[in-house]
Amino acid sequence: MPSKYTAPHIANKVRKLRKASIDVTLVFNKLIAGDKTALAQAITLIESTRESDFQLAENLVNQCLTIPSKGIRIGITGVPGVGKSTFIEALGGFLTAMGKKVAVLAVDPSSSFTKGSILGDKTRMETLAKDPNAFIRPSPASDALGGVTRKTRETLILCEAAAFDVVLVETVGVGQSETAVHSMVDFFLLLKLAGAGDELQGIKRGIMEMADAIVINKADGSNLNQVKIARGEFKRALHLYPPKENQWTPTVLSCSALHNLGIEAVWETISHFMTMTKANGHFAKNRTNQNKNWFLQSVDALLKHQFYANSQTKDRLKQLLNQVETNQISPYAAAKALVQK
């Protein structure tokens, strides 16, 4: 007898579920009541690339936008191996112990060949995944730049409508093209390692300039002396940057996520930041700017989608690709011809 967990069986089950009409209002009512299954279903809907799901997803997000946001959005980034998942589990566990509801949006890198992702964040955050006050959603980055998915903004809205107090957004890594998360969070935390050459990055603009706090992880054992030196290096590097518009002075902290050391100090820093920026009006201003950026990026995405979906564009694209392959026309000239058409 074939197993019910075989790939064909699962694929058939997914197809049947997709055929079923989704009641957006029902999903919304369950979501705002704190139903994590409904939240997962809602995120799956907005991540869908099926044309028939687009309007449903839009309706759901619009309903969620009617719920006042009371949550805190925290972006967490750092090079692979810095311990992002361990840190998030430690911070998340600390917050749930305080009675807060925590959502984790973990973005996994996608293969440029197979387009697949491992989506193993729940296994790396095993304890937090079992916490009734926590919700972990791993999503593939797919072809989206910025270390976040194309639908991370919408997912944030859903989590806040579901009454999560803190939403932690974990990016796939660090780089000039992987700082888009900064434009959608309230607090941007950069994880660093001591003794890994990371101190030299302090003299470069970019991600260091965006950070509201730098946290040096793995501050334990024989690594403590290196951490102390690294803290000094990062503090001196931060003095090279002009003051932030929000009047906040970025701080450098250290912690051992593995041993739950220094996590409370990190949260105190975030809480102080929130109190200060809400008082001086920057928090509300930043949220407004986030919506403006969301609008402009949505315009770009829709224009691109409609352009390539056009039948004339598809036909002309094939012709120009053949000419490019045979060196009859340069790639730039071909692109210009396609856009002008």
Per-residue pLDDT tens over the stretch 166-186:
999 988 765 544 567 888 899
Contact at 8 Å (CB) between 214 and 234?
Answer: yes
Q: What is the mean pLDDT of residues 122-142?
A: 81
7-27 average pLDDT score: 66
Chain centroid to CA 276: how far?
Answer: 24
Q: Mean pLDDT across the chain, nearest whole number? A: 84
Would you state the pLDDT for residue 282? 96
pLDDT category of residue 15 using cuts at 50, 70 and 90: low
7-64: which CATH number, 1.20.5, 2.60.40, 1.10.3860, 1.10.287? Answer: 1.20.5
Percent of the chain with pLDDT over 70: 81
Greater confidence (114 vs 126) lies with 126
Q: Is the pLDDT of residue 153 over 70?
A: yes
Which range (77-81, 96-100, 120-124, 222-226) has the least confidence? 120-124
Question: According to CATH, what is the number of the domain 72-280?
Answer: 3.40.50.300
> In the predicted model, what is the mean pLDDT of residues 112-124?
46
Structure confidence by residue, pLDDT tens digits, 277-313? 999 999 999 999 999 988 988 898 889 888 998 888 9
Report the pLDDT averaged over residues 73-82: 89
Q: CATH 3.40.50.300 spans which residues of the chain?
A: 72-280
At residue 188, the pLDDT reads 94
Domain with CATH 1.20.5 in the chain: 7-64
Residues in Cβ contact with 70 at an 8 Å cutoff, skipping those fewer than 6 apart = 160, 163, 165
Angle among Cα 257, 259, 261 to the nearest 5 degrees reads 70
Q: Tell me the pLDDT band of 117, cut-offs 50, 70 and 90.
A: very low
